[in-house]
């Protein structure tokens, strides 16, 4: 076996000998045993934290022997049961879970791979290891066979005598902090990346990918931190919660109960949030609570870290909440048609109060799919040591350190500020756990925190409208008084409404249905003909009627609106309606239709970036625009530089955010003649 070590490997072994493992050895052993990584690394760390090639070989052989003799392969469950019976006692490595049998007033242990469902276990062992009741733990288990153990005439011969959880017995946090000082920031970031099995120098792992990979661990060091990551498959979203720490639990399939998560009203036992550092939901599309109060209780917990159920009173928990899921469409497509929470289950994806409690939206699409070339062959922390480091750092608090150097901009509300501060605190714990950080470090973490929280708010704005419109996040350097605005990369796409004179016949507007708003492009083409009207882009009767009403109004008022040579009876009008963004297209867009038709007939360009709101009845009456502020904001966000709207909406201008009015002019009209006067580009 050839051992290739780099400078960082040697520094890591010199400072943390006995607590690091060569990660490729773990993968080699993992191929032969379907056992969690932290179990393998627990066995490897003491014997393989060395430069000595021969000692590494002996260590691997020893681990293989232990796994052969004591690790239980699920296919060999019956054979192991026989060995326990024949030998009288046996030591195994398995996952053990305990349930309370209230009818018999006793605990039963279940060994996952041994397929032993009702093993006797002492109350004292259960009390000493409460996680046995909360999904179970991997452990080294001493088990005996006693055929005299009976209840009635039924024998329950398997007896758990002792268990040793597979995790580090002690952890010296002060020693850890001191040794961190021997590493530069860049070196330490690479240590963290290697400790989760990824090679930081491999293709596709750029500086942004590194910080995102590290950010997955914030819930492990920051109590009550709510994170969501949505992105492509095979990027390792769930790995850190499943494999690198016994202090996190991954709930696959999304199914959960209030008793499991919070408290069992029968036994009064607190649930997962009180006994784990992190509770992660995998496959978020399937999140569903059997109990009607499940979502409200989870929502309250995500807000305050406390919950109540029935007569139990208010209780607290420290677990962070993580949601992982897949996005199977391109981000560009999702942003054009809906929002970036769409992969969530229907129960929560439109619940803005629930989504607003998420502190950090990690863009999984910025992490490339992992290939074998991305896995490290170098040393990283063994998972038992790493997990102890993470759980001990939860006690630190850097919540207010940004206030020494920076102030947050006016658009950040209380939840935004809380989210940003918790993110900065978590990144300090991970990257600067010795507490030594600079102003530039804080600036870097602050920018990350603002982006990830703003991503949440940008989607809430798409779902919930004006309540969440303040997304122009910034920070202010207290020394220089410079204000810096932080953007969200995927929102930088080109404007859908062109900031240039619009061709004759082209106009933009917003339609509103019960489902929400849609950005609509109207394109009219005029050719010589006999007065035919052709409408494409929609089959909805109400929209087609809307177009026909405006068309009939123009025909009925040709003498006032058109010259004799421009009579509609001399032209065929073709109109294409396109839904560019948002929900299903609807009616109520007559003013924009009118503008497009007249500009096409007169072959006149419209002003740059213009949009027209409002409807026109068959008699020419101008109708009030509902949800005025939301529609103005949506048009502005997508590039509109001038919006024409009915005079009746003037009093609602005070509801439009100043940031919108800084980018877009709003002008008013009281009749159809004014629309054309204000819309046509002067020659």
CATH of the domain at 551: 3.30.230.10
pLDDT at 2 over 60: no
* Higher-confidence position of 398 and 338: 398
Is 566 among the domain residues?
Answer: yes
Tell me the pLDDT tens digit for each residue of 251-288. 886 667 888 888 877 777 888 999 899 999 988 877 77
Is 159 among the domain residues?
Answer: yes
Tell me the pLDDT tens digit for each residue of 126-182. 988 887 887 788 888 999 999 999 888 899 999 999 998 876 656 889 999 999 999
Q: What is the mean pLDDT of the chain?
A: 89
**Are the CB atoms for 281 and 273 separated by under 8 Å?**
no
Task: Report strand pairing: 314-316 vs 306-308.
Answer: antiparallel
Tell me the range of 32-36, 55-59, 293-297 where mean pLDDT is highest.
293-297
Q: How far, in Å, CA of 42 to CA of 50, rounded?
A: 15
646 shares a domain with 574 = yes
Q: How far, in Å, CA of 312 to CA of 412, rounded?
A: 35
Is 335 among the domain residues?
Answer: no
3-class secondary-structure state, position 22: strand
517 shares a domain with 485 = no
Is 291 among the domain residues?
Answer: no
Per-residue pLDDT band for 632 (boundaries 50, 70, 90) equals very high
- Element at 98 (helix H, strand E): strand 89-101
Sign of CA dihedral 555, 556, 561, 565: positive
574 shares a domain with 442 = no
pLDDT at 466 over 70: no
- Of 99, 98, 97, the closest CA to residue 266 belongs to 99
3-class secondary-structure state, position 430: helix
Q: How far, in Å, CA of 652 to CA of 87, rounded?
A: 84
575 shares a domain with 611 = yes
Instruction: Report how far apart, in Å, the C-alpha atoms of 550 and of each of 506, 511, 614 are.
Output: 16, 15, 12
Is 96 among the domain residues?
Answer: yes
Per-residue pLDDT band for 341 (boundaries 50, 70, 90) equals very high
pLDDT at position 266: 76
558 shares a domain with 641 = yes
545 shares a domain with 463 = no
Extended beta strands in 232-283, E state: 248-251, 255-256, 278-281
Is 94 among the domain residues?
Answer: yes
Looking at beta carbons, which pairs linking 549-554 to residues 24 or more positions away fall under 8 Å? 549/590, 549/616, 549/617, 549/618, 550/590, 550/593, 550/594, 550/597, 550/616, 551/593, 551/597, 552/618, 553/594, 553/616, 553/617, 553/618, 553/619, 553/620, 553/672, 554/594, 554/597, 554/598
- Of 191, 198, 238, 195, the closest CA to residue 373 belongs to 198
Q: Which two tokens stand for residue 547?
A: 């177009």
Domain final position from 112, 144, 165: 165
* Higher-confidence position of 346 and 250: 250
- The torsion angles phi and psi of 381, rounded to 5 degrees, stand at -60, 140
Span 622-633, average pLDDT: 92
pLDDT at position 59: 78
535 shares a domain with 475 = no
**Are the CB atoms for 579 and 625 separated by under 8 Å?**
no
Per-residue pLDDT band for 66 (boundaries 50, 70, 90) equals confident
Domain final position from 492, 521, 539: 492
Is 66 among the domain residues?
Answer: no
pTM to 2 decimal places = 0.72
Helix axes 173-180, 383-393, angle to 10 degrees: 100
145 shares a domain with 98 = yes
527 shares a domain with 434 = no
Is 649 among the domain residues?
Answer: yes
Per-residue pLDDT band for 682 (boundaries 50, 70, 90) equals confident
pLDDT at 671 over 90: yes
Look at the chain and report how many structural domains it folds into.
3
Q: How far, in Å, CA of 561 to CA of 636, rounded?
A: 30
486 shares a domain with 512 = no
Least confident of 133-142, 428-437, 610-619: 133-142
pLDDT at 1 over 50: no
455 shares a domain with 528 = no
Tell me the pLDDT tens digit for each residue of 494-506. 578 888 899 999 9
Percent of the chain with pLDDT over 90: 56
- The torsion angles phi and psi of 16, rounded to 5 degrees, stand at -130, 40
CA angle (576 as vertex; 572, 579 as ends), nearest 5: 165
Domain final position from 111, 130, 165: 165
CA angle (515 as vertex; 512, 521 as ends), nearest 5: 40
650 shares a domain with 538 = yes
Percent of the chain with pLDDT over 70: 95
Tell me the pLDDT tens digit for each residue of 648-667. 999 999 988 887 888 899 99
Tell me the pLDDT tens digit for each residue of 555-600. 888 888 877 677 888 889 999 998 888 778 999 999 999 999 999 9
Domain span at 88:
74-165
Q: How far, in Å, CA of 43 to CA of 116, rounded?
A: 24
State in Å, rounded, how far the first CA of the chain is from the last one: 80
């Amino acid at each position: 076996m050839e051992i290739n070590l780099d400078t960082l490997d040697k520094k890591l072994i010199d400072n943390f000998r006995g607590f690091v493992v060569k990660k490729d050895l773990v993968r080699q052993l993992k191929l032969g045993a379907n056992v969690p990584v932290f179990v393998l690394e627990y066995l490897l760390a003491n014997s393989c934290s060395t430069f000595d090639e021969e000692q590494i070989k002996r260590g691997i052989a020893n681990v293989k022997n232990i796994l052969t003799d004591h690790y239980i392969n699920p296919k060999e469950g019956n054979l192991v049961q026989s060995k326990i019976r024949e030998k009288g006692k046996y030591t195994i490595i398995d996952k053990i879970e305990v349930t309370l049998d209230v009818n018999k007033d006793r605990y039963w242990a279940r060994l996952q791979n041994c397929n032993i469902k009702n093993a006797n276990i002492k109350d004292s062992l259960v009390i000493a290891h409460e996680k046995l009741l909360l999904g179970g733990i991997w452990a080294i288990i001493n088990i005996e066979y006693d055929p005299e153990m009976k209840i009635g005439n039924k024998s329950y011969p398997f007896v758990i005598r002792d268990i040793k959880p597979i995790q580090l017995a002690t952890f010296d946090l002060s020693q850890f902090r001191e040794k961190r000082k021997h590493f530069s920031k860049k070196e330490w970031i690479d240590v963290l990346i290697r400790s989760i099995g990824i090679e930081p120098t491999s293709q596709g792992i750029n500086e942004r990918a590194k910080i995102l990979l590290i950010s997955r661990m914030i819930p492990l060091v920051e109590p009550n931190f709510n994170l969501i990551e949505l992105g492509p498959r095979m990027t390792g979203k769930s790995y850190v919660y499943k494999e690198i720490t016994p202090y996190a639990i991954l709930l696959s399939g999304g199914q959960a109960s209030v008793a499991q998560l919070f408290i069992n009203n029968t036994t009064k036992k607190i649930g997962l949030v009180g006994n784990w550092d992190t509770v992660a939901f995998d496959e978020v599309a399937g999140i569903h609570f059997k109990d009607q109060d499940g979502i409200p209780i989870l929502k309250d917990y995500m807000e305050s870290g406390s919950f109540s159920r029935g007569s139990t009173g208010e209780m607290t928990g420290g677990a962070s909440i993580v949601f992982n899921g897949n996005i199977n469409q391109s981000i560009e497509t999702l942003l054009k048609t809906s929002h970036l929470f769409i992969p969530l289950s229907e129960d929560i994806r439109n619940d803005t109060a629930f989504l607003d409690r998420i502190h950090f939206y990690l863009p999984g699409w910025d992490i490339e799919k992992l290939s074998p070339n991305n896995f490290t062959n170098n040393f990283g922390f063994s998972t038992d040591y790493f997990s102890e480091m993470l759980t001990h750092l939860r006690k630190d608090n850097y919540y207010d350190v940004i206030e020494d150097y920076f102030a947050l901009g006016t658009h950040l509300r209380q939840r935004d500020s809380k989210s940003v501060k918790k993110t900065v605190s978590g990144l300090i714990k991970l990257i600067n756990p010795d507490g030594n950080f600079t102003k530039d470090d804080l600036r870097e973490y602050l920018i990350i925190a603002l982006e990830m929280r703003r991503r949440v708010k940008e989607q809430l704005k798409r779902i919930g409208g004006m309540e969440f419109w303040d997304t122009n996040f910034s920070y202010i350097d207290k020394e220089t008084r410079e204000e810096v605005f932080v953007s969200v990369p995927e929102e930088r796409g080109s404007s859908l409404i062109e900031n240039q004179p619009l061709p004759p016949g082209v106009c933009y507007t917003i339609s509103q249905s019960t489902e929400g708003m849609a950005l609509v492009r109207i394109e009219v083409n005029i050719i010589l003909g006999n007065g035919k009207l052709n409408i494409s882009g929609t089959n909805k009767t109400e929209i087609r009627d809307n177009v026909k009403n405006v068309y009939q109004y123009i025909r009925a008022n040709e003498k006032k609106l058109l010259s004799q040579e421009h009579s509609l009876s001399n032209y065929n009008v073709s109109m294409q309606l396109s839904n560019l963004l948002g929900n299903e297209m609807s009616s109520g867009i007559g003013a924009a239709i009118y503008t497009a038709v007249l500009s096409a007939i007169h072959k006149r360009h419209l002003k740059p970036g213009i949009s027209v709101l409002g409807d026109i009845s068959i008699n020419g009456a101008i109708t009030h625009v509902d949800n005025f502020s939301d529609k103005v904001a949506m048009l502005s966000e997508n590039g509109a530089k001038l919006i024409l709207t009915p005079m009746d909406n003037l009093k609602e201008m005070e509801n439009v955010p100043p940031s919108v009015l800084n980018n877009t002019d709003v002008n008013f009209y009281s009749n159809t003649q004014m629309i054309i006067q204000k819309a046509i580009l002067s020659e």
